[in-house]
Amino acid sequence: MKTKGALIRQVGSPWSVEEIEIGEPRRGEVKVAMECSALCESDHNLANGTIPMGTPPVLGGHEGAGVVVAVGEDVTGLVVGDHVVASFLPSCGECDSCRAGLPNQCDSGARRNPGGLLGGASISDGSHRITAADGETVTPMSLVGTFAPYVVAHENSLIKIDPSIPFEVACLAGCMITTGYGAAVHGDGVSPGDDVAVIGVGLVGAAAISGAVVAGAARIFAVDSAADRRELALKLGATHAYASVDEARADIAGVTSGQFCSHVIATGDLTEAQQWMRLTAKGGTCVFTGMGDLSDHGAELRVPVAELLQKNLRSSIFGGGNPRHDIAELLTLYKLGDFPLGDVETVEYRLDDINDGFTTLRRDNTRRAYLRFTDADR
């Protein structure tokens, strides 16, 4: 079918809204009429080259919510009319990684895409079935490509949700919010009474603060150079807010009697790891949630041994959780009023205005930007 989509044709170029043609669902696949798609920092990083893209042009978007309108053969978990969220990581529940408790590193996408989820080959049969008007093959980001009013994806990449959840809220659970929340609650997660530091209060950091609140943290120390982000952190449940790690360290040392934080969640640049570890308690854990510049293969992690003694530093993708469980859990918490997804200001854009949306995202990362698709887009 013919529709429209926002494409990146080369690194550094703006998003281009063009006519595309999307194939019909095959075995295990589902067609979704997208209602909303979040604009994520990872999409921006794809456009600027810090996340290496697959073969261009690339159809962007990896966080979306919509309604199932068609299903292919052997689809067992979804039917027409179901409301779904697209997960930027597929999760089959059956491969070695899923069985080993690593559903956020599911092998179902990698089998067809040895170079990663930006390869674009479908999980079902390895084909590429999105084309641009000029006949070029289009690569969907993370095997979904939600910057289009219709998506055909494998059911492994789609999570059924409660139909009462607004689409503009649901679309945020496919990456950003779940990443921050999971960093707080998974692995050696926050326990009731713990002291937690969150470094960087963009949307991922904001979700980490909310996750720490849900987990029962006693004190939450937020660090961000921007005053509006520190204000947001306090609104979401942080007990303290600082403009720098140095300022935070001096105060946290007094508040915790020199013990510092059992959990530190960092969203910044990995080159700042030494600073993060200075806030981490003995035996504590620092979780790094950022993707960083994946094109820089020479990046180095430098932390003095003295800062690592009896401390843990680990990375986290998708919050280290289970897409099928975590997305549904987060939206349930939202519905119960226990997770403040609605407390962050949102700005809605049309597909044709996607570049304005990313300008907003880059200028003010305390606000969420998302696309809402209309009949004119379809």
What gap in Å lies between CA 210 and CA 234, rounded to an integer? Answer: 11
Radius of gyration of the chain (CA): 20
Rounded to two decimals, the pTM is 0.90
What is the phi/psi pair of residue 188, to 5°? -85, 65
Would you list the DSSP string of 306-349? HHHTT-EEEE-SGGGS-HHHHHHHHHHHHHHTSS-GGGS-EEEE
Own/partner long-range contacts of 109-116 (Cβ < 8 Å, ≥24 apart): 109/143, 109/156, 109/157, 113/143, 115/54
Tokens 């070029």 identify what position?
136
Residue type present at position 318: F
- The reported pLDDT for the residue numbered 309 is 81
Q: What local confidence, expressed as pLDDT, does residue 291 receive?
A: 63
CA 50 from centre of chain? 16
Count CA atoms within 13 Å of residue 279 on its CB side: 31
CA distances from 193 to 150, 247, 260, 313 (A): 45, 23, 13, 21
Catalogue all structural domains in the chain, each as residue range(s) with its CATH number: 2-174+344-372 (3.90.180.10), 177-318 (3.40.50.720)
> What pLDDT score was predicted for residue 271?
78
**Is 247 in a helix, a strand, or coil?**
helix
Q: What is the pLDDT along the chain (378 residues), one digit of tens a residue?
A: 999 999 999 988 999 999 999 999 999 999 999 999 999 888 888 888 877 777 899 999 999 999 999 999 999 999 999 999 999 888 877 888 888 877 777 877 666 666 566 778 888 888 888 999 999 999 999 899 999 999 999 999 999 999 999 999 999 898 888 999 999 998 778 999 999 999 999 888 999 999 999 999 999 999 999 999 999 999 999 999 999 999 999 999 999 999 999 999 998 777 788 899 999 999 999 999 876 665 666 667 778 877 878 899 888 887 887 888 889 989 999 898 888 766 677 899 999 999 999 998 887 766 789 999 999 898
